[in-house]
Amino acid sequence: MRFGIYKSLTFPIFIVFLFTVLFVECQEKNHHQNEKDRIIGVKIYKIDGDVKMLFEEWEELGINTVFASPSLINDEFRESAKKHNIETFIILPIFYNPDTLKVRPDLYAITDRGEKAVEGWVEFVCPSREDYRKEKIGYIKILMDDLNPDGLSIDFIRHFVFWERVYPDREPDSIPNTCFDSHCIEKFQKDKNILIPDNLKNAPEIAEWIKNEHLDEWTEWKCELITSMVRDIVQEAKQINPKIKINVHAVPWRQQDFGDGIKVIAGQDFSKISAFIDIISHMTYAPMVKREPEWISSVVQDIAAQADCRIIPSIQVSSPSESSSAEDSAAKKFEQSLIEALKPPSMGVVFWSWERFEKNPIEKGILKSYLDE
């Protein structure tokens, strides 16, 4: 009788055991698969040394993707990338364009204070100018023909904001909202079927009225300007190379930060943008914006909840001046940032930048030992 009980229990226990083994094996397989698909990338804007040696070092470190300024890419760069199996994305700034603004100041975006969209080195073009948008897409197509990259890394695809200087305690209302030049005001009224009262004469008055009466429509319209530019770039790029991969550089703000500033100020709606692209890489430069390393994974999770594409945070390598006084502390934070950046659902990490790694052997060493493990 007792033997019978044991016998009747043996089969269910065996089944549970079998499923547990299969589940663990499956998880293990997924884990390795994820690791294999993981992007370990560097951003680079300038090369001083030997290109071939650079790629050798990248391969040795475990870097499999480079995000580079188009000016760096020549035959030697391409051949080395191929030899070392490293994918190349070209970095393409869209609405940040001081060179063009120098010769065409009529293109400046205008803030809610009626001023040109300029703060420090950050200068922005009005995003509703059809001629500028077409020129930019034409330029991207020429670059694709000339350089044949594996991917496009679309940068400054947003409205004007110097987010690098927006710290956690910033009042949302103190961040400039754009663009209130005549082109945008006219297009907004037409697209949203809204009529601005005649007695409002200048940009600050109009901006105040729009923000008070139609902030939701205004924000939605701002986001549409950005999403449609992403869509247009992708559609044209895929005509040249249907396999081209697309990354978008994102402002590192969660939905609750700065009064939904990611949409209200920057005009980046990840739920819409992600339909057209492969990767969102937000610039989670924790030391720069006075955040702790844990903040990096919280931004990944927030964006992953909105977006239907891969999320790969970009993190900051300390510059020597930052690390000279508190080198150990900066290096420790860098290591923690790297761990946070790779926590699921992240699909990798991108380092800003290689130039910084070259001047910071301690943090380069941390990367090497981490990837070796």
Nearer to Zn ion, 127 or 293 (CB): 127
> Closest Cα to residue 88, out of 50, 43, 47?
43
Nearer to Zn ion, 183 or 245 (CB): 183
Cα 184 to chain centroid distance, Å, stands at 25
Contacts of 242 (CB under 8 A, 6+ apart): none
DSSP, collapsed to helix, strand or coil, labels residue 162 as coil
Number of chain positions touching Zn ion (CB under 5 A): 6
Asked if 179 touches Zn ion (CB under 5 A), the answer is yes
Least CB distance from residue 139 to Zn ion, whole Å? 20
Instruction: Look at the block and give the residue holding tokens 């063009």.
Output: 100
Least CB distance from residue 183 to Zn ion, whole Å? 5
Name the segment binding Zn ion (CB under 5 A); options: 19-27, 178-186, 269-277, 304-312: 178-186
- From residue 127 to residue 166, the character string flagging contacts with Zn ion as x (rule: CB under 5 A) and all else as - is -x--------------------------------------
Q: Which position among 68, 126, 154, 225 is part of the footprint of Zn ion (CB under 5 A)? A: 126
Name the segment binding Zn ion (CB under 5 A); options: 118-126, 274-282, 326-334, 360-368: 118-126
Name the segment binding Zn ion (CB under 5 A); options: 16-24, 171-179, 266-274, 332-340: 171-179
Nearer to Zn ion, 221 or 334 (CB): 221
Residue 72: DSSP 8-state: G
d(CA 262, CA 294): 20
Asked if 184 touches Zn ion (CB under 5 A), the answer is yes
Nearer to Zn ion, 68 or 184 (CB): 184
Name the segment binding Zn ion (CB under 5 A); options: 89-97, 174-182, 197-205, 206-214: 174-182
- From residue 220 to residue 239, the character string flagging contacts with Zn ion as x (rule: CB under 5 A) and all else as - is --------------------
Is residue 363 left, alpha or beta, with left meaning phi > 0 and alpha meaning psi from -120 to 50?
alpha
Nearer to Zn ion, 128 or 353 (CB): 128
Nearer to Zn ion, 126 or 300 (CB): 126
Residue 319: DSSP 8-state: P
Residue 5: DSSP 8-state: H
Least CB distance from residue 214 to Zn ion, whole Å? 16
Nearer to Zn ion, 222 or 282 (CB): 222
Half-sphere exposure of 216 (CA within 13 A, CB side): 0
Asked if 311 touches Zn ion (CB under 5 A), the answer is no
d(CA 101, CA 113): 19
At 110, the amino acid letter reads I
Asked if 181 touches Zn ion (CB under 5 A), the answer is yes
**Cis previous bond, 345, omega within 30:** yes
Asked if 210 touches Zn ion (CB under 5 A), the answer is no
Q: Please state the three-class secondary structure of 309-366 as a single string.
A: CEECCEEECCCHHHHHHCHHHHHHHHHHHHHHHCCCCCCEEEEECHHHHHCCHHHHHH
Asked if 123 touches Zn ion (CB under 5 A), the answer is no
Least CB distance from residue 178 to Zn ion, whole Å? 7
Instruction: Look at the block and give the residue holding tokens 């800003």.
Output: 352
Nearer to Zn ion, 67 or 188 (CB): 188
Least CB distance from residue 359 to Zn ion, whole Å? 39
CA dihedral 129, 130, 134, 140 (to 10 degrees): 40
Name the segment binding Zn ion (CB under 5 A); options: 120-128, 269-277, 302-310, 316-324: 120-128
> Closest Cα to residue 345, out of 25, 20, 37, 24?
37
Name the segment binding Zn ion (CB under 5 A); options: 86-94, 119-127, 201-209, 244-252: 119-127
Contacts of 307 (CB under 8 A, 6+ apart): 270, 271, 273, 274, 280
Contacts of 309 (CB under 8 A, 6+ apart): 274, 277, 278, 279, 280
User: Footprint of Zn ion on this chain (CB under 5 A)?
Assistant: 126, 128, 179, 181, 183-184
